[in-house]
Chains A and B, each alone.
Chain A
Amino acid sequence: MPDAGDELVRPDGQLTRRDVLRRGTAGAFAITMFGGLAERAFPFYGPLRYQHKQLSGELKIMQWTHFVPDYDKWLDGTYVKQWGEKNDVEVKVDHINLALLPSAAASEVASGGGHDLFQFLFPPSALEKQVIPLNDIVQEVTKKLGKMTDVAQKSSYNPKTKKYYGFADNYVPDPIHYRKSMWFNAGVFPSSWDAIRRAAPALKNAGHPVGLGMTGELDSNMLLMSLLYCYGASLQDEESRVAINSKATVEALKVMRDIYRRGMTDEVFAWTAASNNDAFLAGRLSLALNAISIRRTAEDRGLALADDTWIAPIPRGPVRRLGNEHVMGIYFIWKFAKNKAAAKRFLVDQQLGYRQHFLQSKFYNFPAWTNSVKGGFKTIRRVTNQDRHKPLGQYNILASIAEKNTTNVGYPGYANAAIGEIWSTYLVPQMFAQVAQDKMTPQEAAKAADRQFKQIFKKWRDQGLMP
């Protein structure tokens, strides 16, 4: 039975004190919550339309979370803002984890909407049908800066359709990091794969094994493919025919198995992309193949071993000294992008003045058009020489690595869609791991890979994307 106090409104229509209290509290609560939330209202209605009313266009970019946090801060906070003001475009950059780029891309294709500019860290050849060709801006930049590097060319051009499906922006050379003192004690310098194989047991006994991963992750992928090139093997030939089943492949598989048996531990089968970093920085590994993120982290943390850590080109094999880029920064523009003009403008302008990007990324990002840094490799060498971290002058070798020892995934052919799939599904590290763990002989593994690759090549050939 409701009692008199429950009545909200007195018979004469006036509010009771109780009611005022109740409504007032509710009101105050609402205002606090939603007033405060109004600022954060944009999560509900989407990103707020920009405050600067004079910027008329909008450009949305998606790229990876750079390992150098300062680079992203500079890019998002300074570079794109300045570019935006100059070109009357509001630029918004979103970052995602590099491992999740393919799913984000798939979702944008499925939804027919998303970002205008999308960056991949490996050639997005499989997406060719969903993007617009960028031959025009490639020509424009080539006219101003000369030809792009071979790595970039082979990673963004499809010779079958004669289209540039992507705009190569940057690539990252992949040196080896090694602890000079440990190798000195082992009496040898890691200049060739054979030297590493010979020194591996001694290093392992000293508690400092080499760290050559054989897991389904980025570092292992690049490392093992590079190993194949050094031994004269490759996944395909110039004509995009599968070429994995060769004596050279068997040779490379044997070498890796040997290094594992005598000089490495089981950890190399359980690595993430960060594991070799962590193990090296903990003082355990004597050698790792990785982009300069290891050295830079050592410097940031002020570790003593930074003075003892040198970088060098990929070890030489019996046939050549050649490695892959660690990652390849390629942008593409969706067919359904809303602001294609601004996107193209952005790409061209970014590449034309790449010096700042090179510096802000701490020498990680090398420009696809070398002359984008005025003076090309000579200037790059001069800049790296100015790095004050000990040992002095060590980053100079990066320029040589970039110039002479870096090639694209899919060497000697193009980085086509089939190679892209083999890369994304880590078939090469799998092959090596199975041989190292004695689950297959090298010959069997090469044959099995051959069969697998042929299926994949056929699938993409049927799509019309490959010669």
Chain B
Amino acid sequence: MMSNSDGEPVASAKIKVVARDVNVFYSDKHALKAVNLDVRANEVTALIGPSGCGKSTFLRCLNRMNDLIDGARVTGTIAIDQQDIYLKDLDVVQLRARVGMVFQKPNPFPKSIFDNVAYGPRIHGLAGTGAELEEIVVTSLKRAGLFEEVKDRLNEAGTGLSGGQQQRLCIARAIAVSPEVILMDEPCSALDPIATAKVEELIDELRQNYTIIVVTHSMQQAARVSQRTAFFHLGELVEVGDTEQIFTNPNHKLTQGYITGRFG
């Protein structure tokens, strides 16, 4: 039987991502300290904590985005479906297709809506014919809840969309390459409440097919969209648990202090 990071046995939930004793150093700075975390498949896991607590650093470990930062060093093991993603001969481009990412600010390519979504499938050779490619684009836009709004203007620039639409376009782009895990780094912080609600609704639908990890500064967002919540503080994972438990009866004083707004 597997056990979760608290040492309790987990019998029913399927574990998608396992992080063990993960440390991250940026040059001399010890940014992430001995993090153990299990991420369950087809659930939304929210990572919360004050700025500089290591939550985004941890998120970026999961698709090796930290490789791109000079002086960054990652130790420990991270496995997706029991496959170590830090193996030397691992194809990082393939990894990033399996583990998609959506950023804080919507960052569509300066291309048409269609080409934004088609970009990934093209470079990964996922579509044999033009018709197949079109089907991937349409399906991805539908899954991202954007198709109805853009179906008549697929050749217009993605950058011409509203902020909320751009973010959903980025989500469509991420899911076009059929990832297994989607990482989201504050996906709604630049959006208004209506656009935020749409993205949150989308996140909830997407978890049927994907495992989602979302970093957020909004407690309410973590409470609304996630099934599990992990609280980070000063580079350490303080507590992880069912979202309901974290927000009604957290075990750790630091968690309680943070989520109730009592941080000194």
Partners in one complex: no
Chain B residues close to A by CB (< 8 Å): none
